[in-house]
């Protein structure tokens, strides 16, 4: 039987994107910080409880802004997982910072909070937890360590829009949080992101850094009579067409999450027998975490040939992919950063992991095909 290919990701459009872009176009509002950007900011502030939300070009840009806000100096150390996207590290490396990689937890694949304290040195300035798969790091412990040692916390919540930890939105718990609206995430604008500023005292500086180091945002609010260069900054704000697209997505963030969650739960149930047989391990979601169904991954049993499994899925026209090559085993990782302690779970789990197709509109029939093909590959 001829079957259609099941892609790994299919960007979901809510239906209002073009209408809102046309509205921005008709209103001759193209530069940043127009009406759609303001709506997105208000939504993010309301939904996360952060004191200031600022749209950026990407999560990468939001992390770079955070590094400027922290005033990272050459040699300053930032503790982070090695099992993450390159931007978590690069944002700080651009300021001369040194990523210090600690191992991840065996269960959630998030940075192991029990290893952070031993990695602290006199040069440590910040901790950058990454909420993998939209499942929160152990933030109470991380915040407690940070406060006791006078460190800042920058949450890489790229995958965490709509996720919560003990009821609090990811990105709103540390000093700063970074969201991504890249087309591979849950809520999208092609490329896009946001910086969440949680300490009210940092909000004005964040606006300045985002507007080329000027107080232009205050000028637009009539708080100053001209705008001038204040400090180091760059252009981090997206134009209104992107914000218009994003607004159509944020309005539907709830229904997007509900749809994805149904698929996530269906996989989780259908794959339980394979876990019982010891052929794979399913994701672990701690009690404290309300996740957003960003990703469904499985960890293949040790010894299973991952490439063979992926090939078998591909032969069944299913696109499944592995994920990060840990930063400490990439050429840039040890050039710009260093490892603290064993990387046993980072190495082991990253080598076993595959991600299954998950997107809004994925049907139960398509999921059955994925589960059947995976079962065939493993048995």
Ligand X SMILES: *Cc1c(COP(=O)(O)O)cnc(C)c1O
Question: Which residues of the chain form contacts with ligand X (CB under 6 A)?
Answer: 58-60, 84-85, 87-88, 130, 156, 158-159, 180, 182, 193
Residue 86: CB minimum distance to ligand X, A: 8
- Give residue for tokens 């949680």: 198
Residue 109 vs 279, nearer CB to ligand X: 109
Residue 148: CB minimum distance to ligand X, A: 26
Residue 160 vs 233, nearer CB to ligand X: 160
Residue 136 vs 279, nearer CB to ligand X: 136
Residue 162: CB minimum distance to ligand X, A: 15
The Cα 300–Cα 379 span in angstroms is: 12
Residue 159: CB minimum distance to ligand X, A: 5
Residue 156: CB minimum distance to ligand X, A: 5
Residue 79 vs 274, nearer CB to ligand X: 79
Residue 89: CB minimum distance to ligand X, A: 10
Tell me the C-alpha to C-alpha distance, in Å, between residue 18 and each of 26, 248, 249, 365.
12, 9, 11, 30
Residue 29 vs 178, nearer CB to ligand X: 178
**Cα torsion for 283, 287, 288, 293, to the nearest 10°?**
40
Residue 269: CB minimum distance to ligand X, A: 26
Q: In the beta sheet, which residues pair with residue 53?
A: 196
Contact indicator for 79, 127 with CB cutoff of 8 Å: yes
Query: What's the DSSP call for residue 225?
Result: S
Residue 3: CB minimum distance to ligand X, A: 30
DSSP β-ladder status, 152-156 and 98-102: unpaired
Residue 14 vs 84, nearer CB to ligand X: 84
DSSP β-ladder status, 289-290 and 164-165: antiparallel
Residue 252: CB minimum distance to ligand X, A: 19
Contact indicator for 206, 65 with CB cutoff of 8 Å: yes
Residue 20 vs 85, nearer CB to ligand X: 85
Alpha helices by DSSP H, listed for the chain, are: 17-26, 35-48, 59-69, 86-93, 139-149, 203-210, 216-220, 240-250, 253-270, 272-276, 306-315, 331-336, 344-352, 364-378
Residue 180 vs 316, nearer CB to ligand X: 180
**DSSP output for 264-291:** HHHHHHHTHHHHHTTSEE-----TTEE-
Q: Which of 151, 152, 171 is nearest to 162 (CA)?
A: 171
Residue 130 vs 153, nearer CB to ligand X: 130
Residue 95 vs 218, nearer CB to ligand X: 95
Look up residue 49 and give its two tokens: 């409880």
Phi and psi at residue 182, in whole multiples of 5°?
-60, 155
Half-sphere exposure of 75 (CA within 13 A, CB side): 3
The Cα 282–Cα 297 span in angstroms is: 7
Q: Which of 267, 373, 349, 266 is nearest to 301 (CA)?
A: 349
Residue 60: CB minimum distance to ligand X, A: 3
């Amino acid at each position: 039987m001829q079957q259609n290919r099941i892609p790994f990701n299919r960007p979901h459009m809510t239906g209002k994107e073009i209408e809102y872009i046309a509205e921005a176009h008709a209103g001759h509002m193209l530069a940043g910080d127009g009406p759609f950007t303001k709506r997105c900011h208000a939504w993010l502030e309301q939904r996360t409880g952060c004191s200031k939300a600022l749209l950026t070009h990407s999560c990468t840009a939001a992390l770079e802004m955070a590094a400027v806000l922290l005033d990272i100096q050459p040699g300053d150390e930032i503790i982070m997982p090695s099992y993450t996207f390159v931007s978590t590290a690069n944002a700080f490396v651009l300021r001369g910072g040194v990523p210090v990689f600690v191992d991840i937890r065996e269960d959630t694949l998030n940075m192991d909070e029990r290893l952070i304290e031993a990695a602290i040195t006199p040069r440590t300035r910040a901790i950058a937890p990454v909420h993998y798969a939209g499942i929160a790091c152990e933030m109470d412990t991380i915040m407690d360590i940070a406060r006791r040692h006078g460190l800042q916390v920058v949450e890489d919540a790229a995958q965490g829009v709509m996720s919560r930890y003990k009821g609090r939105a990811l990105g709103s718990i540390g000093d700063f949080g970074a969201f991504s609206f890249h087309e591979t995430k849950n809520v999208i604008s092609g490329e896009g992101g946001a910086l969440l500023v949680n300490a009210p005292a940092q909000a004005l500086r964040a606006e300045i850094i985002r507007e080329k180091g000027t107080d232009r945002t205050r000028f637009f609010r009539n708080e100053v009579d001209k705008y001038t260069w204040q400090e180091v900054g760059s252009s981090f704000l997206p134009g209104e067409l992107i914000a218009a697209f994003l607004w159509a997505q944020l309005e539907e963030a709830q229904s997007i999450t509900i749809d994805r969650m149904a698929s996530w739960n269906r996989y989780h149930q259908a794959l339980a027998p394979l876990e019982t047989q010891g052929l794979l391990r399913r994701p672990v979601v701690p009690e404290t975490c309300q996740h957003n169904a960003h990703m469904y991954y499985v960890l293949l049993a040790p010894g299973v040939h991952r490439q063979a499994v992926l090939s078998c899925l591909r032969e069944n026209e299913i696109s499944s992919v592995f994920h990060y090559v840990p930063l400490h085993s990439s050429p840039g990782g040890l050039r710009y950063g260093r490892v603290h302690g064993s990387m046993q779970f980072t190495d082991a789990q990253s080598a076993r992991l595959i991600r299954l197709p998950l997107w809004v509109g994925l049907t139960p029939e398509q999921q059955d095909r994925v589960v059947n093909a995976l079962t065939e590959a493993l048995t």
